[in-house]
Amino acid sequence: MEALILYFVLFFPAIHVPPPELLAQGIGAAGTIPFSAMALLARTLTYTLPATALVLYLISRSGSQPADIRRAAPAKPDMLPLAIGLPGLIIIGLFVAFLVSRFAGETRPPVIEGPYTLTGWVVVVLACLGTGYLEEIYFRYYLLTKLEKIIPRTAVRVLFSTALFAIAHIHYGPWGLLNAAVAGLFLSALFLRYKSLHGIALAHAGYNMFVFFMGIVR
């Protein structure tokens, strides 16, 4: 019950509404979400960091805090899942983008504009690291371990975690939901195989930075 309450408080799409620009265009409509360093920084400071602290507190209270959360920095065991995870997420994103170009029609997801200044990129890096760690701590570590006694079958826990992860991205339209679902399955497999939170969180953050970069070069 705690895990579901936390999901509805932190991630449920009805609470975290899409940016005003996306709402104005309509869910899933083609267009661009303009970049705003101040808005991104404000979200990081007022939502991402406090939400991460809350999830970490709940994990520490349970007495099952993993070793790589306690480490202040990534270590050598985290490098392999990072090296696999980042290219894998980029390939998934590019494949979904290819499907969008062929089949999306009027349901194309919006393009997220990237920054053109050093200050903007500093904010992007901080925001992407925060989001990467928040989502991986909750959707991969917290859910996949918290529900182990309630849902003994690993495959069912992975599907449940991935479904919640995908729904949290539904405001980017059906193609965004598909991308999140495939990425969620991939990240879950990496976490279960390597037990590295830092590795998949950094891969997730790197992919988010790649999305901002693609908003410049398109």
d(CA 22, CA 91) in angstroms, rounded, equals 25
Query: What's the pLDDT at 110?
Result: 72
Q: How far is CA 151 from CA 145, 147, 197, in A?
A: 10, 6, 21
In this model, does residue 217 exceed pLDDT 80? no
Between 74 and 29, residue with greater pLDDT: 74
Query: What's the pLDDT at 91?
Result: 97
Between 18 and 27, residue with greater pLDDT: 18
CA atoms within 13 A on the CB side of 192: 17
- What is the torsion angle, in degrees rounded to the nearest 10, for the CA atoms of residue 82, residue 83, residue 89 and residue 91? 180
Query: What's the pLDDT at 74?
Result: 73
Query: What's the pLDDT at 81?
Result: 95
The band of 188, judged by pLDDT with boundaries at 50, 70 and 90, is very high
Calculate helix-pair angle for 118-135, 197-217, nearest 10 degrees: 140
In this model, does residue 63 exceed pLDDT 70? no
Domain ranges of the chain: 80-105+116-218
The band of 51, judged by pLDDT with boundaries at 50, 70 and 90, is very high
Query: What's the pLDDT at 83?
Result: 97
Q: In the chain, what percentage of residues exceed pLDDT 90? A: 53
Query: What's the pLDDT at 60?
Result: 79
Q: What is the pLDDT of residues 112-163, one digit of tens each?
A: 888 999 999 999 999 999 999 999 999 999 998 888 888 889 999 999 999 9
Between 7-16, 30-39, 143-152, 179-188, the lowest mean confidence (pLDDT) is in 7-16
d(CA 136, CA 53) in angstroms, rounded, equals 13
